[in-house]
Chain A
Amino acid sequence: MKHGKFNPDDLKEEKSNSLSIIERREFLRIGLVITGVFAGGTILSAISNINKVFASTEEVAEKYPYKPHYSMVIRQNLCIDCERCLEACIITNDVPEYGYRTAILQRDVPDAIGQKREFIPVLCNQCNNPPCVRACPVKATYKDKQHGIVMMNYDKCIGCKVCVMACPYNARYFNEEKHSIDKCNFCIDTRLSKGEKLTACTAACPTGARNFGDLSNPDSEVYKLVHQIEKPVWVLRPEVGAKPNVFYMKG
């Protein structure tokens, strides 16, 4: 196992095209199944990472840390910035005008041919290794042992905001009405626990940019999206090591 040598920056240079089909297959077989591994970063870095985490491929049992293992896959190029997801989120989760649980970021790509602007939806990544949970002094924020959603106990939060500082993804804000930090929880209280299958934003998305489901279920949309050989999948800021459960891809 080669620890310490790995530098995500080196990987930026690599092109996904340079991977052989065999490599890709190997990766899919061993890597994708567990987000803990996969969350090392892009497909590329996951391949380079895989040996760091597991001694042998046998150890990479087809096992997920959570059941259901909720995850969102964002097909970035499909987002048209209609912001229906934001609206749905605000209504469903009672989000005040001064805060947000999810946002759409814009990136200009002046050199691109045709469309010159990209839209990148962001939200809490429900990290597998959540820095916010480690930092909270009173366990007001915690990772649910069953479904892996990073939850808030609104009554416990003392409002020290260290979780805001710890989160690498700007996913948290202080909600005055709740007297607590608030953040995306994949609509667990407002929808999933009431039998709905999708988060409000996913249900509202007209283009299929947002996809939601149980990553541990091979029949789920997210599983199928992430397990396509030809499509690179990545997470934001992999270098932090938070191991997100929100994945990005194109197409």
Chain B
Amino acid sequence: MPEDVKPVKVSEIVKDVTRSFDSSVATTWYSNLMEFLSGSKSFYVLLIISGIMVFISAMSSANAINMGYRHAYGVTREVAWGILISTYIFFVVTSTGLCIVSSIGHVFGIKDFMPIAKRTVFLAVVTIMAGFTVIFLDIENPFRMAIYNAISPNLTSNIWWMGTLYGAYMFFMIVEFIFLLIGSHKYAMYSGLLGLISGIAAHSNLGAIFGMLHGREYWYGPYMPIYFIASAMASGCAAIIFFTYLGYKVNNEMMDKPMERSLEAVGKLCTLLLTVIMFFATWKIITGLVAASGKVEAIKAMLAGPYSLNFWLFEVLIGMVIPFILLLRSKGKNINMMFTASLLMIIGIFIMRYDLVVVGQIVPLYHDLGVNEYSSLHKYTPSFYEIMVVLGGMGVVATSFLLGERVFKGHKSEIH
């Protein structure tokens, strides 16, 4: 990109940030701090709200730990994985998606995807951390995990691979972000590539956790790992549009041409991926209807049973159809329309993850035995404490996003 396209102010800020990282001159930090504090009122209101969200969630989680998860959470022996697992998946899916989409620019060198890279990598780190926070509050003995994951690994376990690879992924993404900050693009590219590889591997393992449960017809098979990757990219695109739009709002700035072009490209990719997801959803249902009886029961619960509102309203309409129409109509140019589409997609995808996890468990394992105990579907409702953890995870993302916008000054980057 030629130098003159870039607004003068942007390059100054970038130099500024770069210098502050290079030499850590105290005066630069001071002026950065001043600039940070000079934010608009609405910025601080938002920051305080999200901070309070995190705080309240932390309090309630401490309470939940005290009283024991069995009392605090709505999960049961039969539905052992609830909204915390699905929210964890939601966050790490988004993170992986952000990583994949950002790599199109930074790793594979496609120019249109470059302006979004910094913010995207930052958000990938933030969302994976939010995911880890949520899973930390779901697992009963998280501290043991750190120990035994290292000294007693089970190499046939998808969870082991997922945990380990996501650990590596987070490390590489943080390193990539640091390299992007100090403007070392070559190393950023390498760490981005490593992050991409570990992220995709981790993510397909997350899908395989479900896909390899041979006692659970609803999930079993190669569908899940593949679907997870495809839907991650869609989530990533939605998150990029969503947060970039908000970022510019928060900073009270206008987008420049390269950024607009970049969002247009992301919007188009998003439209394409939505069709892919719709395709997946359609065939999942059609094949599910002629499957073993347990799976048919689950699909029926989605189509016309207790989960039909979730499915038709949230997953199909809000998550896929309306965003698809909005994205098509926006032509990648109407940024407000694209933002609405991305918001709807994020809501829809959140519910999609929830249904994916819960509906897979509602059909009793002994369903085919015809016993009275298991003649009806299992029920699960998220408890207050579970919802608080979910809100806390979202608070972590919101707080970090807002702080990031200010500290890293709108994630502006030099364009090569």
Contacts and interface: CB of A to CB of B under 8 A. Distances in A.
B108 interface: no
Given A105-B373, A176-B68, A134 B156 contact: yes
A16 to B, nearest CB: 19
Interface string A148-174: 000000011111111011111110111
Nearest to B150: A138
A105 B374 contact: yes
Interface residues of A, number: 44
Interface in A123-151: 131, 134-140
Contacts of B156: 134
A196 B339 CA distance: 69
Interface of A: 98-99, 103, 105-108, 120, 122, 131, 134-140, 155-162, 164-170, 172-174, 176, 179-180, 236-237, 239-242
A241 B214 contact: yes
Contact of A106 (B149, B157, B373): B373
A103 B78 CA distance: 14
Interface of B: 68, 70, 77-78, 80-81, 139-142, 144-145, 148-149, 152-154, 156-160, 163, 209, 212-216, 292, 361, 364-366, 368-374
A237 B293 CA distance: 13
Nearest to B144: A158
A106 B375 CA distance: 11
Nearest to B135: A160
B77 A158 contact: no
A169 B365 contact: yes
Nearest to B372: A106
Contacts of B80: 161, 164-165, 174
Nearest to A168: B215
A107 B368 contact: no
A63 B150 CA distance: 36
A156 B144 contact: yes
Given A156-B148, A240-B214, 11 more contacts: A156-B144, A158-B141, A158-B144, A158-B145, A161-B80, A162-B159, A164-B77, A165-B80, A168-B214, A172-B77, A236-B366
A156 B152 contact: yes
Contact of B163 (A131, A137, A169, A180): A137
B214 A107 contact: no
B365 A135 contact: no
Nearest to A108: B372
27 contacts: A105-B373, A107-B371, A120-B369, A122-B366, A135-B212, A136-B154, A137-B148, A137-B154, A138-B145, A138-B153, A138-B157, A139-B153, A158-B142, A158-B149, A159-B139, A160-B140, A162-B157, A164-B77, A167-B365, A168-B214, A170-B365, A174-B77, A174-B140, A176-B68, A236-B369, A240-B215, A242-B215
B202 to A, nearest CB: 13
B213 A139 contact: no
B141 A136 contact: no
A105 B368 CA distance: 13
Among B141, B145, B160, B163, residue most surrounded by chain A Cβ atoms (within 10 Å): B141
A131 B371 contact: no
B148 A107 contact: no
A237 B366 CA distance: 8
Contact of B160 (A131, A137, A179): A137
Contacts of B157: 134-138, 162
Nearest to B68: A176
Given A105-B371, A120-B371, A174-B140, A137 B215 contact: no
B154 A161 contact: no
5 A-B pairs with the lowest CB-CB distances in the bound complex, closest first? A159-B140, A168-B215, A138-B148, A137-B160, A105-B371
Contact of B149 (A103, A138, A176, A242): A138
Contacts of A161: 80-81, 140
A223 to B, nearest CB: 26
Given A105-B371, A134-B157, A165-B81, A170 B145 contact: no
Contact of B139 (A107, A155, A158, A237): A158
Nearest to B145: A158
Contacts of A170: 77-78, 364-366
Contacts of A138: 144-145, 148-149, 152-154, 157, 160
Contacts of B364: 170
Nearest to B159: A137
A161 B158 CA distance: 13
